[in-house]
């Protein structure tokens, strides 16, 4: 398996090195699509709400958490109990760990049903994730654009396409200095599921 830094050539002069590692073919094409279909059918998907300027709105995607049994997690000052690991998700976690030599105790699944689904600008920089969280992000299904923007200088912006079966490792200072998002698209997009393996302390 080849491993390469995303922002080679000119771009790596601007984008700090060591913040991202991208494996375009962590899963083969067919395995990615099989995983997509299995997860669409078997995961207890939920659509949560968020409050924007005193208005309660539905999150524009479906989500599910899985994690180590027997403990609940605290994230963004909310307590939640994850679903227990399934064999499939545990074996994916172990493959990611074997490749990256990192360790994870939970996974957040995001299901983007079509181009209307999205995640807004944010960083995963919660106290519970630690100062320099390593997050492993596995994507299956429809390729979607993933954008980064420097928190202080919004003109410093990068985009990359996260394809079916790809694995993106986000590490170091990335969450501290950069926001990321999956923008909506007016194109007619097929479903995509993203799995972010994390450690919650």
Ligand X SMILES: O=C(O)CCC(=O)C(=O)O
The contact set with ligand X (CB under 6 A) reads: 108, 110, 119, 124, 137, 139, 146, 162, 180, 182, 194, 196
Cβ proximity of 39 and 193 under 8 Å: yes
Alpha-carbon 110 to chain mean position: 8
CA distance 21 to 29: 20
Using CB under 5 A, which of the segments 62-70, 73-81, 118-126, 182-190 binds Fe ion? 118-126
Closest to ligand X by CB, 27 vs 162, is 162
Closest CA to 144 of 116, 169, 175: 116
- Minimum separation from the CB atom of position 17 to ligand X (A): 21
Residue 33 DSSP one-character state: H
C-beta nearest to ligand X: residue: 194
Contacts of 41 (CB under 8 A, 6+ apart): none
Closest to ligand X by CB, 54 vs 77, is 77
- Minimum separation from the CB atom of position 20 to Fe ion (A): 13
Closest to ligand X by CB, 9 vs 102, is 102
Closest to ligand X by CB, 54 vs 130, is 130
Structure tokens at 13: 């002069």
Say whether 151 sits in a helix, a strand or coil: coil
- Minimum separation from the CB atom of position 123 to ligand X (A): 9
**124 binds Fe ion per the rule CB under 5 A:** yes
Secondary structure in 3-state letters for 185-197: CCCCCCCEEEEEE
Closest to ligand X by CB, 20 vs 119, is 119
Q: Which residues of this chain interact with Fe ion, rule CB under 5 A?
A: 124
């Amino acid at each position: 398996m080849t491993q390469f830094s995303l922002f080679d050539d000119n771009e790596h002069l601007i984008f700090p090195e060591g913040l991202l590692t991208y494996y375009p073919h962590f899963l083969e094409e067919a395995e990615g699509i099989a995983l997509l279909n299995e997860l669409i059918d078997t995961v207890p998907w939920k659509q949560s709400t968020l409050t924007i300027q005193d208005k309660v709105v539905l999150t524009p995607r479906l989500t599910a958490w899985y994690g180590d049994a027997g403990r609940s997690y605290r994230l963004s000052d909310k307590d939640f109990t994850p679903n227990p690991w399934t064999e499939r998700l545990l074996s994916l976690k172990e493959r990611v760990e074997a490749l990256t030599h990192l360790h994870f105790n939970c996974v957040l699944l995001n299901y983007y049903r079509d181009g209307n689904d999205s995640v807004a600008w944010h960083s995963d920089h919660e106290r519970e994730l630690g100062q320099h969280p390593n997050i492993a992000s596995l994507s299956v299904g429809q390729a979607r654009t993933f954008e980064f923007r420097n928190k202080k200088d919004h003109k410093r912006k990068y985009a990359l396409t996260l394809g079916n079966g790809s694995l993106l490792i986000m590490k170091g200072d990335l969450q501290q200095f950069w926001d990321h998002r999956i923008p909506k698209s007016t194109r007619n997009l097929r479903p995509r599921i993203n799995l972010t393996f994390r450690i919650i302390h």
